[in-house]
Every structure is written in C-alpha cells, then in structure tokens.
Amino acid sequence: MSKFEKGQIVIAINDSPRMVSSYFGAGVQAYRKGDKFKVISTYGNKDFDEIVVWHPLIDSTMSLSAKNFQILEEFREEKIHTILEK
C-alpha cells in the first residue's frame, strides 16, 4: 500500500466502528465501506498513520485511521487485476 498524500481520493475498505456522539446520538458511523473522501493532510509515525479528510455530511474535516482506507486508483487497479485473472 502506498503512503497517502494531500489531494488524493481514498476509499474506505472497512466500515468505521459505531460510536456514541453527544451531537449525533448513539450508533453513528463516520463512514461505510465504499465511501470516498479527499485527503486534506496526513500525520503519524511508524506505529500509526492518520489521514484528515473533508467529510461532506458534517461539513468539516475529520481525522481517520489510514488502515481503513486505500488510494482509490490502487483500489480500482486491484479490482481490474482480479477480474482479468478469472
């Protein structure tokens, strides 16, 4: 998997965990598998990576774990490769 960079479009490869929010209520999911976001910035170290994305539903930025995302272009290439192997 490549490192994420500002301006890239990423796709969620897993659902986010459900959480309780004082603003949105119980059982809220920040994103679902297949949701796409534009990377605003990245940060982290050798143990973790985080991406900051613009989240249109809350009209704000959100910091998310990079382990649940893949660069959209790479995701599409993998899907095409899998189809062509069959």
- The CATH number of the domain where 48 resides is what? 2.30.30
Q: How many domains is the chain built from?
A: 1
Strand partners, 19: 28
Q: What pLDDT, on the 0 to 100 scale, is given for residue 38?
A: 94
pTM of the entire structure?
A: 0.80
Q: What pLDDT, on the 0 to 100 scale, is given for residue 43?
A: 87
CB atoms near residue 76 (< 10 Å): 12
DSSP structural state of residue 68: G
Residue-wise pLDDT for 8-57, tens only, equals 999 999 998 887 767 766 777 888 999 999 999 988 876 668 899 988 87
**For 67, left (φ over 0), alpha (ψ -120 to 50), or beta?**
alpha
C-alpha–C-alpha distance, residues 12 and 75, integer Å? 10
Q: Is residue 3 part of a domain?
A: no
**Pick the residue with more confidence: 12 or 85?**
12
Q: What pLDDT, on the 0 to 100 scale, is given for residue 47?
A: 63
Q: Is residue 2 part of a domain?
A: no
Q: Is residue 4 part of a domain?
A: no
Task: Say which range, 38-42, 58-62, 74-78, has the weakest mean pLDDT.
Answer: 58-62
